[in-house]
Structure 1
Amino acid sequence: MPWLKHWLGRVLLGFFLLGSPCVWVVAPAAQSGESSGAVPITIGVLAYNGKAEAVRRWQPTADYLTAQNPGFVFDVVPFYLAELAAAVRDGRLDFVLTQPLQYVELARKNEVWPLATLNVQTPQGTLDRFGSAIIVRADQQAIQHVRDLRGKVLAGASPDALGAWLLGLDTLNRVGINPKTEIHTLFTGLPMSQLVQAVADGRADAAVIRAGYLEQSIHAGLIAPGTFRVLDPKNYADFPYQVTTELVPEWPFCATHRVSAAFAAQVARGLLGLSQDNPAAIAAGITHWALPLDYTSVAHIDARWLPHNRSVLQWLRSFGVWLLLPLGAVVFVFYLQGRRTQRHLSRQEASLSATLNTLQDAVIVCSADGRVVFANQLTRVFLTHPVDDLSALHGRHYAVLFHLRWRESAPNFDLRQAVALLDKRPEQTYHVQLIIGHQMREVDLHLRQLDDLTEQKTPKFVMTLRDVTEYREATALLAYRASHDRLTGLLNHTAFEELLERHGHSQSEGLILWLDVDDFRLINEANSRRLGDQLISRLASALALNAPSSGLVARLGVDEFGIWIPDLRALSYRQWPDELLGLLRELRFEIDGQRFWLTVSIGVCLADYRLGAGLLDDAEAACRRAHREGGNRVVWFSRDDAEIATRREQMASLHYLKQALDAGNLVQVVQLIAPVGLTQAAVFPLKLPTAHAHYEVLLRVKGADDRLQSPVQFIEAAEKYHFMPEIDRWVIR
């Protein structure tokens, strides 16, 4: 087997280079004599779970290799299966990270050789192998074993996907099912979630997925437990997931012929030295890279299930015996098979059309010249000019079907230009506005180029439109309600604090005011909460109206407001709080024939380049002092304010006393009452007094070092903030 000899040779070369004390590295770009700037190195990665996810997972590894190889810049480029094979064939990649089956195919063509095999990190341990699970819906009682799949629809990612198709075919063959004639296939493409969705929707009876994907999706909350089950699960001692098939080695990291063997060995050394706690390993979800495993089992699957271009001599050696069959019989068999295939394709096409008509998206398939080939029922909703029969759309150009308003930065950008870009970007998504009559709807437009399998091989493209107007309106409404007060429409406490934190991190100078309505509780008790809400709403309007243009007003509590003024140059900030207080004194509110006059206590604090949360606490402390001094006044916060400092110390003492009470750190001790002059004092657990002795019971607080402390420093705070009844109840319990 040429590929195996090639692989063994590369491994031996790798061992030699990894053990060499000195390695001369020749970079791909450096071979041409270029020495200015870093040399770009491209790593092609198979995007089995989406391209964005592939970049997120493997770009940290590329950054790690960049740090390990000065003078080179590694970059990850995600590809799907066919795209990755084409990129290697065209010589656009330096290294490749792909699934084992594609590696075997590339190695058989002498295009790559392995450097390392990844070891995946799972909650149950490290895995260097993987398999496939054949899943069905849990309520599918007709299918209990793999052998029950005969005549059923089986979904896979693609005909050449290892974990999401071919391993499943090998298992079907083991139980006596011919995958080519005794099952119906449905290929959904990647990501893997499309396979699970096909089973959930009933488009497929079962699906072949990578083992572990079901458990990981359940753990992530993407799939409800008990929705699916795995057919004929096998138990492997070192494999924690349910698996239906045999296990094969994990993904290899390979080098292409664009890099020298010495440079490949240096990169392999860097991968093998990657530790488990490295950010690159954490992002990739692996524990480490190991020396390449034996991929012979994968090669057997490749040889059995995938077609290969054989030479005439090889074909004659393998199938020459069939030349003895009469040509008429061969023609007749092909004729029968063609009719059967045609009927099967017709059923598949009808099933696909029915499925597309049930989607919540408009789906339009167009030919290479832009003529409509297929349109599902929901397309009617998006048309500029409605039609009674969708067949009337066949042959019409896509550009005349919809009236779209684009948000692209390029002037005069339209649907024709977007379709023209498919040659460069085969898949595109746009957020556009759709005009239907006098209505304007928010729409997500998705374009994807397709490869036609007919003899003409003319490319097609599919266009999908999804109306997301209600979704975006609901999202905006939820965001507004989460950050604004329902009664006043002002920012709420949480949003106000986040705003101050952003200004604090940017060290923006400003002024913060905390306003508290004096004796507002009495207004609610004497009247009604409805009237109180009206007063608060009108007061909020007055504050918003009289705040500076750069200021921002928020409701912080029932009768508390905050004002943030980031631009102090636009006003005399030392006088403005007093001016605001004077204005509020003059306000009169008439509600239900009654006139109300509100006074407020205002605490003011200068930003002084501190974080927003601390700034808000300081303004509140100043407001509390204004309230204690009688209200209807302005108090500026000062770090030297002894009263505020004392109050904070008392609050800290009260908090310490409450913790001691909850933790059982209050202790009663007994002390003998003795005449003056008696030097010894007795402190011991409570006992019954003797006939002539007298004792007093004292309260102590056990400190962090188990020493008893006098509670004198806590008593004042407990009495001031009405906590003494709790201590009394503890004493007499």
Structure 2
Amino acid sequence: AVASGEIDFVLTNTGHYIRLEAEKGITRLATLIAEEEGQPVRQFGGTILVLDDRHDLQSLADLRGQRLLAVKEDSLGGWLAGQAALRRAGVDPRKDLASLDFTGMPHDRVLDGLLNGRADAGIVRTGVLEAQLRAGDLPPDTLRVLEPREVAGFPFAHSTRLYPEWPFSRLAHTPDHLAEAVSIALLSLPADHPAARAGGYHGWSAPLSYASVHALLEDLGHPPYDRPVVIDLRAFWETRPEVLLGLLAGLLLLSGLAALYYRRLNARLSLEVEQRRAAEARLRSHEAQLAYQAGHDPLTGLPNRTLLHEQLNEAIEQAGDGNGLLAILFVDLDRFKTINDSLGHRVGDDLLQILGERLKTQFEARTVARIGGDEFIAIIDDVADHRELEGRARQLLALIAEPFAVGGWNDLQVGASIGIALFGEDATEAGNLITHADAAMYEAKDAGRNTFRFYRTALTDAANQRLETENRLRRALTHGEL
């Protein structure tokens, strides 16, 4: 398809991209940001696995003379990265192994072969082991990672170097204005966009450097670095033997000097590259951590007030589609101060963490945020009418009322009061919606707590009247008018 020009863009795996870049002249526009275990991941590598009870296998060098399974000969994570790691450990996979077999896709076949005794070790892409464990398809403590590496911000165990994720590329004939428009659209795609959720990824970043992949494929002699150089020595020998002998002598001398110089230069450059990569990895990890902290509550991991306003404004912009009501549920725990005062703030924090996890995993909402203390806000945009919204409010009250096991208590319970404000009916601006939902919450508390109330205009009128009365009393006290 690329060669015939039938397409304008191509998304393909990292190793295949390098080959298309060299042979067909495609150019990357963006790099895929995967989403693994709830965090963005821009790199991947290989994981070399052995059975946990193989105590004789503790390092990559121990695989000499063993049986090895890999995925495919052109799989970067499932073979090439592991092949390079073995070579760096002094093991030539083509000579030093008892056997080398390829299972084909998917990567799970390698794990099955290990468990069935077909091999002593296996190579898969990073994340495959963790996915099997999460799905319950692999018992814990069955397999372990050989010589695991640690990279800040990377969530998976791995045995090889890490390489950039899949690139999104343009062909040479693709119009510049179209390529620019697509690049802008990809780079501005938020993580919660329907396209990102449907694709199962976090988003896109500016194209990363793929120099490490070029170096890997060139070192292994893998396409596009597999073309041999042919020199016709017989023709030189038959016509000018003295020239060939002189050239050979000079080449031997130069090669000796060059090898010595290159060895020293390569050692220095390798050290600099590793230091630079480590610094860049730390910087990217720090930037990602700062971005996450800026929009999330440190105790519960829920969105904070700043991120809540961004997502509420986005929901308001989309509310005109007519898919249902857009509502704000302002939640305040009932008598939470009593728990802090009697059991201590540590128990209160533990309760809030458990509640935050419940809200994230068990309550369906566009966003659930903690805006401070024992106050939470939920944005709901998928209900058809008031009756369905009331059902969701009751569900939220029941979820909060479930017993908590904290501070030595197995059945500690709290209640909540909920105030509800509707976009369009009560307000059209994010700040006013939250203010009105807050007022309705206080009416729910006045009604006996552990219930919910919808906002009414009379609540704002009453609040304004109370504020005016208070201000007049203060002025009366100041001027001695009482």
With the shorter chain as reference, the TM-score category is: 0.3 to 0.5
- Structure 2 length as normaliser, TM-score? 0.47
In terms of fraction of residues, the more helix-rich structure is: 2
Larger Rg: 1
- Structure 1 length as normaliser, TM-score? 0.31
